[in-house]
Amino acid sequence: MSRVPLVESTSATGSVKEQLDQIQTAFGTVPAMFRAVANSPAALQSMWAAFGAYGGGALGPAVSEQVAVAVANRNSCDYCLAAHTALGRKAGLSADTLAAAQTGDAEDARTAALLRFALALVEDRGQVSDEDVQALRDHGWNDEQIVETIGQVALNVFTNYINIALAVPVDFPRVSLRTTS
């Protein structure tokens, strides 16, 4: 059971109602995470705007979902792992690709380097080295994509913490967490 009320679109007003209506249009429903975040109009506005900005970003939907899956798995966020696995499938990723992303792996060396970097950001709380950033450049990632990766990791940590701390009920098909080998 959620530790905060899940705001219903029908009882929301003002900017919260407008954003929940936009989310309803985008997803065909209002996922529980957004209903929990709607307790803070500022947090909802921030989260929804960030998702919108990154939705058209330089990484593209497939890589963005792989990053989200990796971060969710690392933070043991069942909600985000389930949601981003479902969104990854909609972005054309296979179940095997998404399972590999959970532990920072990918068939493509370029994507694998980015996922390793994303996980290093989480593990080391942003304390990455010059060599870590150069490794991304060596794999063909540019500065826009590197900065966007950091932003997406931060957004995903935020959503992970919301869902874990508030015990938001998972309303996507569940996915098993994976441990790194």
Amino acid identity of 95?
A
CA angle 22, 73, 161 (to 5 degrees): 55
Q: Count CA atoms closer than 13 A to 86's CA, side-chain side.
A: 13
What sign has the CA pseudo-torsion 7, 9, 11, 15?
positive
Q: pLDDT tens digit string along 42-90?
A: 999 999 999 999 999 999 999 999 999 999 999 999 999 999 999 999 9
Cβ within 8 Å of residue 156, ≥6 positions away: 67, 68, 71, 72, 80
For residue 144, the model assigns a pLDDT of 98
User: Residue 9's CB: how many other CB atoms inside 10 A?
Assistant: 17
Does residue 78 contact residue 56 with C-beta atoms inside 8 Å?
Answer: no
Q: How far apart are CA 151 and CA 146, in angstroms?
A: 9
For residue 180, the model assigns a pLDDT of 72
Q: In 3-state terms, what secondary structure has residue 179?
A: coil
Domains and CATH numbers, the chain: 60-160 (1.20.1290.10)
Say if residue 158 is exposed, middle or buried (CB neighbours under 10 Å; 0-12, 13-18, 19+). middle
Q: Which residues of the chain have pLDDT under 70?
A: 181
